[in-house]
Amino acid sequence: MRKVLICFAFILGSAAQAEEVVIAALGDSLTQGYGLPAEEGFVPQLQAWLDAEGVEAKVVNAGVSGDTTAGGLARVDWTLTPEVDALIVTLGGNDMLRGLDPAQARGNIDGILAAAEQAKVDVLLVGMSAPGNYGAGYKADFEGLYPTLAEQYETLFYPDFFTGLLAEEEGMSTARSETIQRYFQGDGIHPNAKGVALIVEDIGPSVSELAAQAKAQER
């Protein structure tokens, strides 16, 4: 009887594990968790949020610090292993910092989404806000590529990785808006642990929707 119970427990555990959706987070240093202790990075905090919400999903950190959209495209095929059910794409920040052509970024992300479509993997595409120092045309072209591709590939879309922080800034005066920097590390680019927490709180429901969509596709 004991052996039967152990076997039954093992089967139940395997079944529960099989129901867990595996989500790969393909991105750059923002995804990788640059400058933060491992447990305070984006992926660990997102995992904790999903666990607290009862979402049966495991998030795999596929973030590489310094990566551009070209780097993401170069490694998307080996990121999309057979175990991966869904993909979060957060790329483009380093392209913008280097002033790379938005058309190049668009082509690379197009390739990533095409690979995900081929692998039958659901996607949450995360947009980025471009700085204005390259001109209004550059800013419009870069920011516009994300919703355009999301619509083309019919993926889930989250407008800006920093939306959770931007929400904190709404209603502040110019002077007070400078206090938003308390959510960033010293470089003013990468969020600190508190900043990541705000980002995760805002993007979490979209990731939960991604997990639900992927689970529905499995049935």
Q: Among all residues, which ones are annotated catalytic?
A: 29, 187, 190
Torsional class of 146: left (φ above 0), alpha (ψ -120 to 50), beta (otherwise): alpha
φ/ψ (deg, to 5) at 67: -70, 140
List the one residue out of 59, 88, 75, 71 whose CA is nearest residue 155: 88
Write the single-letter amino acid at 163.
Answer: T
Residue 89 main-chain phi, psi, to 5 deg? -110, 115
**In the beta sheet, which residues pair with residue 61?**
25
Cβ-defined contacts of 1-9 (< 8 Å, 24+): none
Side-by-side strand order, sheet with 21-27: 57-63, 21-27, 86-90, 122-126, 156-158
Hunting for tokens 């120092």 — which residue is that? 133
* 22 sits in which H/E element: strand 21-27
Residues 56 and 20 sit within 8 Å (Cβ to Cβ): yes
Contact at 8 Å (CB) between 198 and 165? yes
